[in-house]
Amino acid sequence: MAHTKVNYRDVESVGDGMHFLRDPLGCEKFGMTVLECEPGWTGKEHAHVDREHEEVYLLLDGKATVTIDGEDVTMESGDALRVPPEATRQIHNGDTESKFVLAGAP
C-alpha cells in the first residue's frame, strides 16, 4: 500500500488529550500529534536536543501560551510556531478548549 489513513479520533489519547499519529500512520521520519486541551491545561516542559527534533505547533482553535526558554509566546487560532530542538518548551492552555496540531522531525 502506498498510503496510510487514520482518523485521530480513532487513536487512543495519551496524557489528557494527546493523539500520537506517528505509529498509526507508519511514519519513519516525521511525527504528528493532535492535542486537544481542556481549559487551564499545562503540558510538560521539555526539549528535543538529544534527537535534534524541531517542532511546529499549529493552533487550530482557542488561545494558548507556549513558554520557550522562559519567554512566553501568545498564540491565537491560526498561529503557527516553530521551536528549535535545543529550546525548552511548555504549552499552557487558556480559559477555553484549544486544539493543536504538533508536527516534528529531525
**Domain ranges (residues) in the chain:** 11-58+65-105
The whole-angstrom separation of Cα 21 and Cα 105 is 13
Per-residue pLDDT of the chain (106 residues; tens, 9 = 90+): 689 999 999 999 997 799 999 999 999 988 999 999 999 999 888 887 676 788 999 999 999 999 999 999 999 999 999 999 889 999 999 899 999 999 998 7
Could you tell me the pTM of the whole model? 0.90
The whole-angstrom separation of Cα 43 and Cα 91 is 5
Q: Answer yes or no: are the C-beta atoms of 93 and 62 closer than 8 Å.
A: yes
CATH class of the region 11-58+65-105: mainly beta
Query: pLDDT at position 92, please?
Result: 95
